[in-house]
């Protein structure tokens, strides 16, 4: 499509004849005066003054007359094109014929250029009739251009291909086993939660800065620019901007629908249940990244090209186009930020905060609407406060969880699984959380000082490290309290070992180790060893007391047989009771399970061998000796293998093995 025609190409004249040097002087005089860009009256006066200096300009009145006739001729030619095209549109019931022929649009714009040039360059003797005709034609032409501008925008809008954009997004999926199942809204009924399933939290995806899509067919962009240039030159900038922003605003609304973002009020958002809300939050994160980095960047490029002739038009047009889309996204985020805080929402809120924070530099660079910018800034701050508040809510929930049902077999408590998988995911948001928690009060961390006065170097730790240390310390205290739900003291230590070891493994095998450090791991491994020693003492002291020499009544040769029988009988009863109970206990970690068995063997078997070696001979030859000496040391060693497997073995099964 042609742009601007600078000569009267629409007229049929041109002529020849003896202008010669006089004509050149006259033309030069007119060109000089016109180039001064003065009003028509001033130009006429200047030409008349020039005629007094050179007799070759004495025929100025003839020139003025000729110029007026030329203006009329230009208008006649332009009028035919403009009115013919406008009439053709009316007869087609409003259908556009702009794209039917490249020639029509080119001639139409050329006709407008001629009229606008004429209005700009009316030199002398302005004819009011010519002026009125020209202005009327401009009005008719602008009405047509305004309509065509909208048609071209609509016809050439490129539908958003969301799937291809999703394919361009780099995703990071993190496993989150919440109670080995779904995340409860509160820490309730942990004991009843079944294990085995896994929940995944999909981390907010990243979008490349170089991603670019066509929002409008590229071949139509220069057509739109050509129309915009004429409308702005004619004083119809406002109308042009209104049409553009109206069409593109609707297009962006449709893009949000394709991206899965609905128009919802704050009240509607706050009534949505967690599962559907989680899905909407995930779609929002994706929509913000695509919306700003792809769609709005694309809109900004279009505005810069199409409205390159006016800085104000570029700015207003982009702001008006983007405002609806941005406000819809911001309203949803605001509703989430002021909604009820519960631990399961934290990761999605952090995703939303990161997404909006990540595109904020783009918004600052593109959006000059103070209201929209301040709203975006306020919503970002609100999401930050919501994230902090939700994290505090999580800390409080861990502290106040008071389920009273002991875990069967002393296995890992669902609270432990929940918290450790939760904090494992938090590591991925360390930078964000450090910035949000930077100036928070850390008074509650005073409890991290050891009993012996050794104080952790909290000042050198990051804010998130300090908070996680305090959180895990709270979890340990809660678990210690829960261990008292078991009446058997030995099982309390099994429960503690299972849970502390689970915590250690989660820290050691994840990025948590970089935050909490090796010292934390070493400290808690030492704690597990202490619990193992305490277990041995609680579980086996009574059985081992049966194998001591005290109270037997003499040396190995003259010991009381009655006392020996009672000792062996009591040991057998203790061992069988331990076996019956502790085969039902569960130590999940194979290495810990084996270490406990070895420790028991090292404690029990040497004592049993020694006792049998000293006193067994006094009963072996006697009547019913097998009733008292039921097990050899090898038998005991074999039975110890069955401990901590989580399958209780009854007493008669044990006796059958020994027979």
Residue 100 confidence (pLDDT) above 70: no
pLDDT attached to residue 164: 73
Contacts of 609 (CB under 8 A, 6+ apart): 633
Does the CA dihedral 122-127-131-137 come out positive or negative?
negative
Share of the chain above pLDDT 90, in %: 57
Q: Nearest to residue 342, comparing CAs of 289, 282, 396, 286?
A: 396
Residue 203 confidence (pLDDT) above 80: no
Residue 521's Cβ-count burial label (10 Å; 0-12, 13-18, 19+) is middle
- Which residues make beta-bridge pairs with 206? 170
Q: State the Cα–Cα distance between residues 379 and 339, nearest whole angstrom.
A: 13
Neighbours of 371 (CB within 10 A): 11
> With contact defined as beta carbons under 8 Å apart, do 183 and 199 qualify?
yes
Neighbours of 632 (CB within 10 A): 14
**Mean per-residue pLDDT, 329-352:** 95
User: Which of the 8 DSSP states describes residue 622?
Assistant: S
pTM confidence score: 0.78
Residue 425 confidence (pLDDT) above 60: yes
Q: Choose the weakest-confidence range: 213-217, 596-600, 603-607.
A: 213-217
Residue 353 confidence (pLDDT) above 60: yes
pLDDT in tens, 222-261: 999 999 999 999 999 999 999 999 999 999 999 999 999 9
Q: What is the dihedral of CA 478, 480, 484, 486, to 10 degrees?
A: 100
Per-residue burial over 245-256, b = 16 or more CB atoms within 10 Å of its CB, e = otherwise: bebbbebbeebb
Average pLDDT over the chain, rounded to whole?
Answer: 81
Does the CA dihedral 269-274-276-279 come out positive or negative?
positive
**Mean per-residue pLDDT, 458-486:** 92
pLDDT attached to residue 368: 94
> With contact defined as beta carbons under 8 Å apart, do 369 and 323 qualify?
yes
pLDDT attached to residue 372: 96
Contacts of 456 (CB under 8 A, 6+ apart): 448, 449, 450, 469
Q: Choose the weakest-confidence range: 92-106, 390-404, 411-425, 551-565.
A: 92-106
Residue 591 confidence (pLDDT) above 60: yes
pLDDT in tens, 277-326: 999 999 999 999 999 999 999 999 999 999 998 999 999 999 999 999 99
Residue of 525 and 451 predicted with greater confidence: 525
Q: State the Cα–Cα distance between residues 219 and 223, nearest whole angstrom.
A: 8
pLDDT attached to residue 589: 95
Contacts of 551 (CB under 8 A, 6+ apart): 563
Residue 569's Cβ-count burial label (10 Å; 0-12, 13-18, 19+) is middle
Residue 7 confidence (pLDDT) above 60: no
**Mean per-residue pLDDT, 608-624:** 78
Residue 476 confidence (pLDDT) above 90: yes
pLDDT attached to residue 388: 95
Q: Which two tokens stand for residue 244?
A: 């553009």
In DSSP notation, 155-191 reads: HTBPPP-HHHHHHHSEEEEEEE-BTTBPPPSSS--GG
- Which residues make beta-bridge pairs with 173? 202
| 3-class DSSP assignment, residue 645 | strand
pLDDT in tens, 129-172: 778 888 888 899 899 999 999 999 999 999 988 777 766 554 44
Does the CA dihedral 143-146-148-150 come out positive or negative?
negative
Does the CA dihedral 504-505-507-508 come out positive or negative?
positive
Range ranked top by mean pLDDT from 97-106, 350-359, 435-444: 350-359
Residue of 109 and 67 predicted with greater confidence: 109
**Mean per-residue pLDDT, 505-534:** 95
> With contact defined as beta carbons under 8 Å apart, do 168 and 262 qualify?
no
Contacts of 152 (CB under 8 A, 6+ apart): 98, 99, 220, 223, 224, 227
> With contact defined as beta carbons under 8 Å apart, do 658 and 631 qualify?
yes
pLDDT in tens, 56-68: 555 544 444 445 5
pLDDT attached to residue 204: 54
pLDDT attached to residue 111: 87
Q: State the Cα–Cα distance between residues 172 and 202, nearest whole angstrom.
A: 6
Find how far residue 491's CA is from the centre of its chain. Answer: 44
Residue 80 confidence (pLDDT) above 90: no
Residue 173 confidence (pLDDT) above 50: no
Residue 341 confidence (pLDDT) above 70: yes
Over 253-322, what HEC string results? HHHHHHCCCCCCCHHHHHCCCHHHHHHHHHHHHHHHHHHHHHHHHHHHHHHHHHCCCCHHHHHHHHHHHH
pLDDT in tens, 253-283: 999 999 999 999 999 999 999 999 999 999 9
> With contact defined as beta carbons under 8 Å apart, do 291 and 324 qualify?
no
Q: Nearest to residue 59, comparing CAs of 29, 86, 88, 96?
A: 29
């Amino acid at each position: 499509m042609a742009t601007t025609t600078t000569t009267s190409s629409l007229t049929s004249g041109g002529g020849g004849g003896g202008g010669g040097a006089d004509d050149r002087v006259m033309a030069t005089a007119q060109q000089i005066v016109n180039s001064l860009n003065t009003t028509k009256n001033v130009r006429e006066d200047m030409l008349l003054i020039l005629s007094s200096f050179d007799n070759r300009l004495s025929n100025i009145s003839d020139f003025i007359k000729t110029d007026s006739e030329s203006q009329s001729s230009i208008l006649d030619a332009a009028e035919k094109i403009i009115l013919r095209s406008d009439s053709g549109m009316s007869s087609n019931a409003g259908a556009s014929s702009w794209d039917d022929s490249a020639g029509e649009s080119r001639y139409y714009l050329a006709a407008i250029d001629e009229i606008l040039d004429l209005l700009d360059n009316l030199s002398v003797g302005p004819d009011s009739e010519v002026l009125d005709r020209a202005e009327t034609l401009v009005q008719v032409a602008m009405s047509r251009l305004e309509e065509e501008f909208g048609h071209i925008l609509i016809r050439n809008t490129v539908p958003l291909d969301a799937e291809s954009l999703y394919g361009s997004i780099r995703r990071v999926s993190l496993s989150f086993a919440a109670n080995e199942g779904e995340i409860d809204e509160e820490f309730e009924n942990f004991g009843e939660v079944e294990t085995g399933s896994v929940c995944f939290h999909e981390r907010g995806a990243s979008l490349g800065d170089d991603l670019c899509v066509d929002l409008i067919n590229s071949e139509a962009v220069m057509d739109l620019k050509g129309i915009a240039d004429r409308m702005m030159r004619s004083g119809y900038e406002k109308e042009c901007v209104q049409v553009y922003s109206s069409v593109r605003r609707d297009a962006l609304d449709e893009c949000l629908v394709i991206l899965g973002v609905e128009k919802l009020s704050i009240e509607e958002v706050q009534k949505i249940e967690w599962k559907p809300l989680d899905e909407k939050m995930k779609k929002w994160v994706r929509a913000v990244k695509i919306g700003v980095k792809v769609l709005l960047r694309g809109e900004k490029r279009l505005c810069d090209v199409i409205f390159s002739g006016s800085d104000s038009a570029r700015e207003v047009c982009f702001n008006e186009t983007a405002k609806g889309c941005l406000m819809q996204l911001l309203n949803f985020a605001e509703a989430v930020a002021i909604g009820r805080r519960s631990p399961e929402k934290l990761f999605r809120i952090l995703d939303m905060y990161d997404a909006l924070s990540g595109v904020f530099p783009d918004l600052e660079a593109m959006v000059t609407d103070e209201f929209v910018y301040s709203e975006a800034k306020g919503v970002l701050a609100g999401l930050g406060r919501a994230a902090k508040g939700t994290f505090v809510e999580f800390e409080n929930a861990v502290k106040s969880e008071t389920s009273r049902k002991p875990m069967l077999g002393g296995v890992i408590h669902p609270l432990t699984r929940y918290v450790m998988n939760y904090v494992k995911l938090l590591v991925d948001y360390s930078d964000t959380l450090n910035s949000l928690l930077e100036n928070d009060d850390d008074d509650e961390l005073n409890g991290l000082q050891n009993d012996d006065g050794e104080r952790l170097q909290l000042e050198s730790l990051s804010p998130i490290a300090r908070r996680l240390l305090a959180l895990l310390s709270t979890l340990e205290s809660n678990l210690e309290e829960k261990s008292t739900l078991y009446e058997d003291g030995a099982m309390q230590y099994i429960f503690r070992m299972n849970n502390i070891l689970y915590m250690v493994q989660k820290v050691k095998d994840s990025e948590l180790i970089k935050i909490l450090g090796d010292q934390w791991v070493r400290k808690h491994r030492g704690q597990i060893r202490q619990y193992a020693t305490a277990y041995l003492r609680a579980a086996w002291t009574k059985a081992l007391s049966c194998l001591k020499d005290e109270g037997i009544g003499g040396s190995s040769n003259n010991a009381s047989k009655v006392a020996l029988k009672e000792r062996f009988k009591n040991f057998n009863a203790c061992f069988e009771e331990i076996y019956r109970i502790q085969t039902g206990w569960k130590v999940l970690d194979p290495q810990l399970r084996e270490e406990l068995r070895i420790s028991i063997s090292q404690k029990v078997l040497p004592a049993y061998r020694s006792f049998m070696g000293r006193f067994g001979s006094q009963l072996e030859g006697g009547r019913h000796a097998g009733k008292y000496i039921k097990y050899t040391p090898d038998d005991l060693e074999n039975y110890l293998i069955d401990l901590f497997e989580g399958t209780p073995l009854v007493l008669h099964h044990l006796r059958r093995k020994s027979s």
